[in-house]
Structure 1
């Protein structure tokens, strides 16, 4: 009898066992879900930059669609941060509404403690405050005139310098400071005969150069501000026991609550809506000892100001004014 079959079978079994042992492990369902879940982004708000430290008249320039440099630079930074995607950035209209409602003046420099207070009302993790430290436009002329025929060259150079500070809303700590500098230069040449002629559209060129310099400086700020997320302590969200809001209005798929940022609510929260069916009282004291409720549905907050919130219905129907809102997911 040949010995080859008896040798072949054990070798084949050993090979199969080896292949099973070295095969990569397949992730479990829980691991797959964890890998698929995106990391939540930190929420930030950008306040208007101040420029009290520089002596410049901006009334002659139309740089940011009619708004001043404080709002213009802040809008540029807001847009760059949105495009970058590292943070979830609060709409400037909401920031301005909160500032008006809470009487926070921005005539001067906002310090870290005030910025943190504004941030807590807005429900954000960090607030960006900053200053315009330089906003210059220089023009140098040179030329030659012979017998009424002349050549004139004007070189415009714009320089913008910005500083920004990232304030942790939870601790009021300045977790980082950033600086950005932008320059832009352009040369215009013109010819004149008998004193007639010159550089056309000089004002438009100056506006464009200053805006280009500002955009370069803002881009540098963005790169620095988005590299420090690990140093920000996320703002604590309210626990289920702390959320105590009531439905104030219902219109179609929109539900308005009587609590807002001052109660710790912020856009993106998912809340449970319940209806009180019965309250059980202590027969000896008359104190309510248990509240029996039935679920109505869930809403997601889409807009929050200081004293109210707007949510869209995710599930359920028949929402009514007076329904109780609790439970944060």
Structure 2
């Protein structure tokens, strides 16, 4: 059987070398995702602060009742002590110590409501700040709590906060008091930094200001870091030796730095440029 005309034409093109090239098929290259090296990931967590010295010591006075029952004021006082203690930010004075000095000085509720009297009471307890406040109740059953922290040295208010609850049941009161305690802790954060200047007149400059949470009237521990402490067997660095220089009082807080003055100093120690500080 003779080939068809089209077949003859095709064979002729092959023999003459004029056959068009076969179409080129391009297979798209699969895009491979870059593998992320887990070792290079940045892990952002809570900043760890080295705790040096004692924390700010506070005492909480009985809350003044404004339309609330005496029992409610007592309950709020006890829960406030517990809530602040659980914050692990303050050194909270036990209520039994507070009751004892109130009895010794023969102070009733009417005698400890003003800031100056509260500050004197705080000095007697040896605390840095004393918290006073009031609790008000409405006929609808809602309650509001107002509280102020007073510096025992100057009798000035450091911070003041309030909290509100639409109900006076046990769980609502507990949550309201814990909310109030959180506000106090957030307003008085632990701030650490460096001494950036020491003037001949004793004025000290700290590299933390309002942006960092430093406020006028706060006290800071000044310390030096010494040699590294290593485990004798594993060689692991456990930390650094710490030498406490003393305490300073923040006298002025600007945006990015603060000024302070020395109020307590360890024997034989001086505050120097580069020393560390941490709020009480």
Report the TM-score when normalising by structure 1. Answer: 0.41
Structure (1 or 2) with the greater strand fraction: 1
